[in-house]
Structure 1
Amino acid sequence: MTRFRRHIGRLGYFALAFGGIVGSGWVVVLGEWLGAAGPGGAALAFAAGGLAMALICACYAELTARMPRTGAEFVYVREALGPIPGFLVGWFLLLNFIGLAAFEGTALVWLLSALLPSVEGPALYDVLGEPVHAGGLALSLGGIVLFAWLNGRGSSATVLFQKVMTYGFLAFALMLIVLGLGLGDLSNAKPLFKVDDGGLPWSGMFWVFSLGILFLNGFQGAAQVAEERAHGVSLRAVAGTMVAAVAAATVFYILIIFAVAGATPWNETVAAGLPTAHAFGALIPSAPWLADVVIIIAIASLTKTWNVIVIIGARLVVALARDNFLPSSLALLNVRGAPARAVAAFSIVAGFAVLLGPGAIVPILNLCAMCLAVTFVLLLIVLLKQRASGAPDPEFKVPGNALPIVIALLLVLAMGSAAAVLPLFRADGMPIEWFMMAGWAAIGFGLVRLSRGARSVR
């Protein structure tokens, strides 16, 4: 089999888009957002980031409506700019999702160790000054195997899992937000803004704004399975679910920021290991177990994001294999209609990334942000070229002429610049993420030299 079944409905597309965006960041790194900008600054930064990403997502959705193909970004750029630019986008986007899979594995260990401190086990080795523990490594690799198995059972199983976890998460998240805002005291959120040494809150707010490219990203899960939409589901409906997912995720982040800041004085919350869990654990003195409930919800939320990462990564492998940049056998589907070989290939490489441990997480996230920024810039250029070519309007189109696309392009450059430049100020010498990019580029160069896809004309 080489073609996917068409069966995904609107609820499935929203679950893929929203579930791919909101994972465990609202528990694992919310303290970093508050510490950098304060509750008001973080909320404003996410509001601005949400508007920016909604516009970028709308442009993305128009490309999806123009070319509803597995491989999404790779296909868009290949069709407009040629096979080599298409390969570069697909190749570095694949690196992004490999890095995100490694992050989810590490985040799973962080969350589980808060419930069961002994789960990490003895240290095996160090990477970048951080120990890699036997138990943590086993859990991370076990998660990779689990989601490889799930995705090998076909998209019906993965989409069903995604819907259950996404809509269940939304129900529990709404309960937490109501508890935090209803029982908390918003006077705990003062001061609303974190003032830096220069007397202005802007630097922290800009940093949180730039994180939108990571924490409001993931809606591509819907674009990657555009070939698999059920009969009767229009491309306009798929595009609408993507934009709606970004808007819903933005609202969620803003509400959870104020729910946490109102539960306890936020300056104290920031010092806690998992600030969201700490805040809800202190919200009701007679119910400290709420902290454990928050962690369990975060673990469940993480699984839906991890599932989307594997869905996207496997379909990028399929698209690259269809064009012979990777072995063509990786494009084949099994009897369940699943890209089992592509899933296995993606998961094996992600397993090697997990071996780097928690010490590599910050460089990996910076690397992911750089890959996304470059991808988005090229995609917006492709959309401008599509508009200029006079091609017929698709089912979904960003309102207006070229101006919204140019604005989106400028916003991407603003959000991506922090990921590329800030590591230079923190590292002694060349940042490790730049070495990772160079190594991945070298492997890609070798594949291009060997592949027939580089010489094919589509």
Structure 2
Amino acid sequence: MVLLMTELQKRISFIGLVALGAAGVIGTSWIYTNSKFFAAYGAGGEIFGFVVATVIASLIALAYAELSTVFPRAGGEVVYTYVAFGKTTSFIAGWALVGAYLASLAFYVTASSLLLAWIFPQLEQGPYYVIAGTKIHLPELIVGIAITLLVFLVNYYGAHLASGIQIVMFGTMIVLGLLLVIVGFTHGQASNFWPAWSKDMNPFLSTMRFVLPAMTYLTGFELVAVLAEEANMPVRKIGISVILSVVLAGLFYTIVLLSSAWVIPWQETAKLKLGTIDAFKVAGFPALGWAAYFISVLGLVTSFVGLFAATPRLILSLSRAGVLPQTFTKTHPKYGTPVNALYLTLGFALGLGWLGKGAMVWFLDMGGFAIAIAWVLATLSLIKIRKKYPNLRGAYRTSATLLPLIGGIVAIIIAIATLIPGTPLSLAWPYEYIVLGVWAIVGVILYAKAPKGNEEEALKNLLGEYYEAIKKASD
């Protein structure tokens, strides 16, 4: 039986939190789409673009690192923006992230069978239907639903279980990545990589053009802050976990991609179908090609697990703030998980997932805009909270707010770029604009129907034991 409980259990270790964050950032498609990116931007454009994007994301992560130690509560941005700007801004930040995370989760329902179909082509046979020009076969939908239910069960039985599994999968990814790097650099040569751009490419412009898509590959570190309430460690380590998540993911991307440009000429990789996977096969290391494929599979699963852990915590936090029904504050008496919010997340994922990969690309692009908005609001919240409560200090403190602000400015540029036609991140007309508009309208309706409760009580529910720190800082 599920009882009304409002506190989550502190059962995630430091390594588990870093694994949830870093492995949640490392996705699946980057390792086989680098052939396309090498062709468009040169190996140097993609690899150095990732370096620049990692620096920018790290600057944004500084804001999360500090705020997560001041308010280590479930929900991350929901809490920070409520303290800084109040209920309305808090709902905007939370609703934006919920939309972004649900878009990814729904995408994984059928995308999870995409990689398996490379080995089991039978999954793409049999009865099917077509949405957005993409066939969804019944076998791949069934497999996707089964994987989704498995990910749900992992998270149902506790964040500590999810983090434990994440540690194993992330460790495996690191080992496989190191094998690619060692073989790539010992059997390849620098002349395969350099010059890293074609003669018709401008190195600076090619690199800068890839920074925007690279930023989307580095999203996910904010889920460390969302899960902070369940971290069983000194508070300072939560902030360190946020930064480590970004840095480790960025290094992993950069070094593995560089090894694929080192082992054979990157111009050849640019002509291959599956990027790094095919590059090592062409170089004479078919087993390592499969290792790269397995990294892609693990990246999908770890992102699936991480986002399925974070989304219910955002819903719980919005419920604590009084803008979603109070039923979503319920947690399981034994496992300490936000069980009703988990069921809602499962319902959304399966309810949208049947639309298939073609339609879900619309949702994913909308999610990129939503995450950029959340990043902007997080950096602004840091500045506002420091000004509003100058004596309030967390266990981790950024030396200057200028650094996160730089990251926030870049996030604003990303958000604007998605709305302006003709940029690399422009939303596709009209479908993606419709999806964004519908999600915004649903949010407005929910917010309008939310009970007009006492905002001070909502703040107390959000902050829990840290509410007194705010009161003292206000005196």
Does the TM-score normalized on the shorter chain lie above 0.5? yes
TM superposition shift of 1:166: 1.2
Contact 2:328 2:341 in 1 (8 A): yes
Q: C-alpha offsets along residues 96-134 of structure 1, whole Å, 9 cap, x if unaligned?
A: 001111333344222112222222223622222222222
- The match for 1:444 is 443
Give, as a single letter, the amino acid of the residue that structure 1 aligns with 2:94: G
Question: Distance between the aligned counterparts of 1:195 and 1:414, measured in 2?
Answer: 29
Task: Report the residue type matching 2:148 in the other structure.
Answer: I
Instruction: Show the counterpart of 1:293.
Output: 291
- Decide which of 91, 95, 120 is 2:95's aligned counterpart: 91
Q: CA deviation at 1:428?
A: 11
Residues 369 and 414 in structure 2, CA contact (< 8 A), matched pair in contact too: no
The answer to whether the 8 A contact 1:36-1:205 is kept is no
Q: Distance in 2 between matches of 1:93 and 1:388?
A: 25
- Contact (CA 8 Å) 1:69, 1:75: kept in 2 or not? yes
| Conserved? CA contact 2:281–2:287, under 8 Å | yes
SS in 2 for 1:29: helix
CA contact (8 A) 1:17 1:241 kept: yes
Q: Which 4+ residue blocks in structure 1 deviate beyond 6 angstroms? A: 423-429
C-alpha distance in 1 between matches for 2:197 and 2:236: 40
Give CA-to-partner distance per residue, 1:182-225, whole Å, 9 cap, x none.
Answer: 222332335412566xx534554333201233211211222112
1:363 corresponds in structure 2 to 362
Q: Distance in 2 between matches of 1:436 and 1:47?
A: 32
What is the CA-CA distance between 1:76 and the residue it aligns to? 0.9
Query: 1:277 deviation in Å?
Result: 1.1
Moved more, 104-113 or 443-452: 104-113
* More divergent stretch after superposition (35-44 vs 144-153): 35-44
C-alpha displacement of 1:150: 0.9
1:305–1:404 distance in 2 versus 1, CA, 3 Å: same
3-state SS, counterpart of residue 126 of structure 1:
strand
Matched, 1:253 2:253: yes
Conserved in 2, the CA contact under 8 Å of 1:83 and 1:453?
A: no
| Map of 2:402 onto structure 1 | 403
* Contact 1:423/1:431 (8 A) holds in 2: no
1:397 aligns to what SS in structure 2?
coil
Give the Cα separation in 1 of the matches to 2:220 and 2:184: 27
Structure 1 Cα separation of the partners of residues 254 and 157 of structure 2: 36
Task: Mark the CA change 1:133 to 1:421 in structure 2 (over 3 Å): closer, same or farther.
Answer: farther
Partner of 1:217: 219
Partner Cα distance (1:190, 1:317) in 2 = 48
Mapped pair 1:175 → 2:173: no
User: Which residue does 2:327 correspond to in 1?
Assistant: 329
Q: 1: CA distance between counterparts of 2:130 and 2:255?
A: 38
The question of whether the paired residues in 2 share the 8 Å contact of 1:213 and 1:373 is answered with no
After superposition, the Cα gap between the structure-2 partners of 1:378 and 1:221, relative to the gap in structure 1 and judged at 3 Å, is: closer
The aligned runs of 1:24-423 (5 Å cut-off) are 24-122=28-126, 124-194=128-198, 200-230=202-232, 233-284=233-284, 287-334=285-332, 335-389=334-388, 390-400=390-400, 402-422=401-421
Q: Secondary structure at the match of 1:108?
A: helix
1:430 is the counterpart of 2:409: no
Gapped runs of 5+ residues in structure 2?
A: 460-475
Q: Counterpart amino acid of 2:222?
A: Q
> CA RMSD of the aligned region, Å?
2.3
Aligned-partner residue type, residue 443 of structure 2: G
The whole-number CA distance in structure 1 between the counterparts of 2:326 and 2:80 is: 20
**Cα distance, 1:453–1:270 mapped onto 2, change above 3 Å:** farther
Residues in 2 aligned to 1:21 and 1:264: alpha-carbon distance in whole angstroms: 27
Say whether residues 1:4 and 2:3 are aligned partners: no
Q: CA deviation at 1:409?
A: 2.0
Q: CA 1:332/1:423 → structure 2, altered by over 3 Å: closer, same or farther?
A: farther
For residues 236 and 426 of structure 1, the distance between their equivalents in structure 2, rounded to whole angstroms, comes to: 35
SS in 2 for 1:71: coil
User: How many angstroms apart in 2 are the aligned matches of 1:64 and 1:409?
Assistant: 17
Structure 1 residue 67: Cα displacement: 1.4
Name the CA distance, whole Å, in 1 between partners of 2:133 and 2:452. 41
Return closer, same or farther for 1:102/1:203 CA change in 2, 3 Å cut-off.
Answer: farther
Contact (CA 8 Å) 1:193, 1:201: kept in 2 or not?
Answer: yes
| Identity across matched positions, percent | 25
Which sits farther off after the overlay, 60-69 or 199-208? 199-208
Post-superposition shift, 1:49? Answer: 0.5
Distance 1:453 1:72, change over 3 A: farther
Gaps of 5+ in 1: none
Question: 1:318: how far off?
Answer: 1.0
AA at the equivalent of 1:413: I
Query: For 1:455 and 1:33, how far apart are their aligned partners in 2?
Result: 51
SS at match of 1:115: coil
User: Against the structure 1 CA distance between its residues 56 and 429, is the aligned structure 2 distance closer, same or farther, given a 3 Å change threshold?
Assistant: closer
Return closer, same or farther for 1:361/1:205 CA change in 2, 3 Å cut-off.
farther
Could you tell me how far 1:171 is from its partner in structure 2?
Answer: 1.6
Question: If the length of structure 2 is used for normalisation, what is the TM-score?
Answer: 0.89
Contact 1:115–1:292 (Cα < 8 Å) also in 2: no
TM-score, with length taken from structure 1: 0.92
AA in 2 matched with 1:399: S
Change (3 A) 1:207 1:105: farther
Structure 1 contact 194–204 (Cα < 8 Å) conserved: no
Change (3 A) 1:328 1:179: same
